[in-house]
Amino acid sequence: MNKNLNIAIIQADLAWENIEENLNLFSEKIDLIDKNVNLIVLPEMFSTGFSMNAGNLAEPPQGPAFKWIQEIARKRNVAVTGSLIVKENNNFYNRLYFVFPNTTFKTYDKRHAFTLAREDQTYTAGNERLIVNYKGWKICPLICYDLRFPVWARNTVDYDLLIYVANWPETRIHAWDILLQARAIENMSYCIGVNRTGSDGNKYQYNGHSAIYDCLGRPLFKNNREFEFTQVVSLEKSHVSETREKLKFLQDRDSFSLE
């Protein structure tokens, strides 16, 4: 078990529907990471931007962008996570991959399709939450619009780290800031949000605000600017266990069933 988990988050301006350019962009940014990291977190649909053009952009379950993640994981001896457009069994998915350093992987299909952008008319929603066990840490990775639904994220399994990968627009960035912090507080978990910057093919603007909160909702890193950056932060497992043991808030949580 790792007492500390060193995480690199990458906030970037995605090239609209240009897989090759985006993979080259992230390759360059990852090559510049000169610190020892255990996990690299990329935005939602990091190879394309948040596009409904799934018919032209989707790759098979283990397609080129996925293999690119595997190569990064293998070469850097690091876990990598982010979401891609995937076609499987004639359905399209906004699918998050969590690839381990040995190139094995877990997947999570976005549960909450963003109806305002008609994502629900293009992508099939997932129905299973993913909990990843990595270096003694329990990690719950989710995708963008999932942030608005606290029941789906509710910490009933004592995970240590909640991650949201996103393409969250500037017009509603206040909600992103507040909800990330709230998820950390209510779940007594570290919470990471990785957003994009720039503009997309639909003229939506993105201004980043990627952030990392501890399990009391205190910012370990918060950048309210819209430029690209890579930030490495070390998370301490003892912070979670000691805070939960002292305050015991999760022991008072309500029980519920999810339909």
Residues belonging to the active site: 44, 110, 144
Burial class (CB in 10 A: 0-12, 13-18, 19+), 188: buried
Structure tokens at 83: 């979401």
For helices 19-31 and 64-76, the axis angle rounded to 10 degrees is 10
User: What is the rounded CA–CA span in Å between residue 61 and residue 129?
Assistant: 18
* DSSP H or E stretch at residue 173: helix 173-187
> Cα 189 vs. chain centroid, distance in angstroms?
15
- Cβ pair 159, 138 in contact under 8 A: yes
**CA dihedral over 41, 225, 208, 172, signed as positive or negative:** positive
- In degrees and rounded to multiples of 5, residue 4 shows phi and psi of -115, 150
Q: What are the angstrom distances between the C-alpha of 171 and each of 167, 168, 203, 207?
A: 12, 9, 12, 9
Cβ atoms within 10 Å, residue 246: 8
